[in-house]
Structure 1
Amino acid sequence: RSFSFDVQLAKASLNFFKFTLIVIWEDPQMKTTTKVLIFLLISLSVSIGFSGTFFDDFSDSAKSKEIWEVVHRDWKIKDGYYWAPGQDGLKTVPLTLLPIKAEDGMVIEAQCGDVGDGNWQNFAVVYSYEDEDEVYTAGAGVGNKQWRFFQLTPKTAAKGGLWGADIVPGLATKSPLEAKEWYNIRIEIKGTEIFLFGDSKPEGKNLNEKHVFKKKTAPRGRLGLAAAGASPMFNHIKITGRNVEDLFLVSPLDKLG
Structure 2
Amino acid sequence: MNDFYKVLFNKQPDEMIRGDYYFHADMDGDCFDENNVRNWMEDGAFRRAWKKGQNAENEMAPLYAKACEVFAERPSPFLEIACGPGMGLAPLLLTQYPKTLCLATDACSLLIKSWRQYIDGNLSQYDISLASFSVFDMPLRENSLSTVTSYIGVSSTRAGEQGQTKALREIYRVLKSGGYFIAIENEWTNLDAIKRVFELWGRPIWDGLQNLSPWKDKFMKCGFIVENDEKSCYHKLSKTDNELGEQADKFGIAIGQTYTLYILRKP
- Rg bigger for which structure? 1
Query: Which protein has the bigger helix share?
Result: 2
Same fold (TM over 0.5): no
Kindly indicate which of the two structures has a greater share of residues assigned to strand.
Answer: 1
Q: TM-score, normalised by structure 2?
A: 0.27
Q: Normalising by structure 1, what TM-score?
A: 0.28
Query: 1 or 2 for the larger relative contact order (CA 8 Å, sep ≥6)?
Result: 1
